[in-house]
């Protein structure tokens, strides 16, 4: 029986139980609500992550794949100087995700995958997945752009051959998903290299050192060239990400996760 909807929250109790009994894989889209320049809506990151999950889930027909209610919130204090951003603290973010993951596992689902759409979440999600996995709740996670990888080189025309912020890739995805949300008249090309205090980026780069970037007040809020964005590029990007995710889902489900040791208590 095909699922009536891939969205967990649209299903009824017996439908979710049947999906569980059929060995469903559950995708959890994670994003943020944050400023994305003047031309994009603040739901950019969760919109892209959710779209990749839904498209992948719809491609897998051999077993059910559910998309959990999208996590609209993430870790974005570095965007708080500009309006629109709603951030969680690290503790809130990881506690929220832990409770969501534990709830889904509590109902008997074993194969869960976190699909992230926000760069600021990357380190937090890696630490969370490590903690969950070593305490007996293994979970796979990635950011959707990792599924696209080198294919960005073929698709994108600007200097940046990947995802920056409110950039060519992200704007293209939004144009593909909902062109009414984008105001291309306000799209500007900009390279954001803003530290918390004035400092030469080259010093850090030469030493292989990371120093977190922030989007200070009045910044265009863009890193990359959204003026080159098109819906056609967005369709290509989303299609590649979704088909790679679908392939991973099929392989991941083959792995036996029924007996996983807890190496260390939470």
Find the shortest distance in angstroms from Cβ 84 to Zn ion.
Answer: 12
Name which of residues 214 to 233 contact Zn ion (CB under 5 A): none
**Between residues 65 and 192, which has the closer beta carbon with respect to Zn ion?**
192
How far apart, in whole angstroms, are the C-alpha atoms of residue 77 and residue 184?
A: 26
Q: Which residues contact 32 (CB under 8 A, 6 or more apart)?
A: 45, 46, 72, 73, 74, 75, 76, 85, 87, 117, 118, 120, 121
Q: Which stretch binds Zn ion (CB under 5 A): 44-52, 78-86, 183-191, 230-238?
A: 44-52
**Between residues 54 and 66, which has the closer beta carbon with respect to Zn ion?**
54
Instruction: Kindly state whether residue 160 participates in binding Zn ion, applying the rule CB under 5 A.
Output: no
Q: Which stretch binds Zn ion (CB under 5 A): 42-50, 107-115, 236-244, 258-266?
A: 42-50
Instruction: Kindly state whether residue 43 participates in binding Zn ion, applying the rule CB under 5 A.
Output: no
Instruction: Kindly state whether residue 44 participates in binding Zn ion, applying the rule CB under 5 A.
Output: yes
Find the shortest distance in angstroms from Cβ 11 to Zn ion.
Answer: 29
Instruction: Kindly state whether residue 192 participates in binding Zn ion, applying the rule CB under 5 A.
Output: no
Question: For Zn ion, how many residues bind (rule: CB under 5 A)?
Answer: 2
How far apart, in whole angstroms, are the C-alpha atoms of residue 237 and residue 147?
A: 9
Find the shortest distance in angstroms from Cβ 45 to Zn ion.
Answer: 4
Residue nearest to Zn ion (CB): 45
Find the shortest distance in angstroms from Cβ 75 to Zn ion.
Answer: 13
Angle (CA) 260 263 71, round 5°: 70
How far apart, in whole angstroms, are the C-alpha atoms of residue 3 and residue 27?
A: 15
**Between residues 44 and 147, which has the closer beta carbon with respect to Zn ion?**
44
Q: Which stretch binds Zn ion (CB under 5 A): 41-49, 88-96, 135-143, 178-186?
A: 41-49
Instruction: Kindly state whether residue 45 participates in binding Zn ion, applying the rule CB under 5 A.
Output: yes
How far apart, in whole angstroms, are the C-alpha atoms of residue 203 and residue 27?
A: 40
The residues that touch Zn ion, with contacts defined as CB under 5 A, are: 44-45
């Amino acid at each position: 029986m095909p699922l009536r909807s891939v969205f967990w929250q649209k299903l009824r109790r017996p439908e979710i139980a049947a999906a569980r009994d059929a060995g469903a894989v559950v995708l959890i889209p994670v994003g943020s609500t944050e400023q994305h320049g003047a031309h994009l809506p603040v739901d950019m990151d969760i919109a892209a992550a959710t779209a990749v999950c839904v498209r992948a889930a719809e491609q897998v027909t051999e077993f059910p794949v559910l998309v959990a209610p999208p996590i609209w919130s993430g870790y974005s204090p570095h965007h708080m100087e500009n309006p629109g951003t709603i951030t969680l603290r690290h503790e809130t973010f990881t506690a929220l995700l832990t409770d969501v993951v534990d709830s889904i596992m509590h109902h008997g689902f074993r194969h869960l995958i976190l699909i992230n759409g926000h760069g600021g979440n990357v380190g937090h999600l890696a630490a969370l997945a490590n903690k969950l996995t070593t305490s007996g709740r293994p979970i796979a996670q990635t950011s959707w752009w990792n599924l696209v990888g080198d294919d960005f080189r073929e698709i994108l025309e600007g200097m940046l051959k990947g995802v920056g912020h409110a950039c060519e890739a992200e704007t293209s995805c939004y144009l593909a998903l909902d062109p009414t949300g984008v105001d291309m008249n306000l799209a500007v090309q900009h390279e954001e290299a803003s530290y918390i205090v004035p400092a030469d980026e080259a010093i850090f780069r030469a030493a292989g050192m990371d120093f977190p970037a922030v989007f200070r007040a009045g910044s265009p809020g863009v890193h990359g060239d959204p003026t080159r964005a098109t819906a056609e590029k967005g369709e290509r990007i989303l299609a590649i990400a979704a088909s790679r995710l679908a392939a991973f889902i099929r392989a991941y489900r083959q792995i036996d996760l029924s007996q996983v040791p807890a190496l260390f208590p939470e």
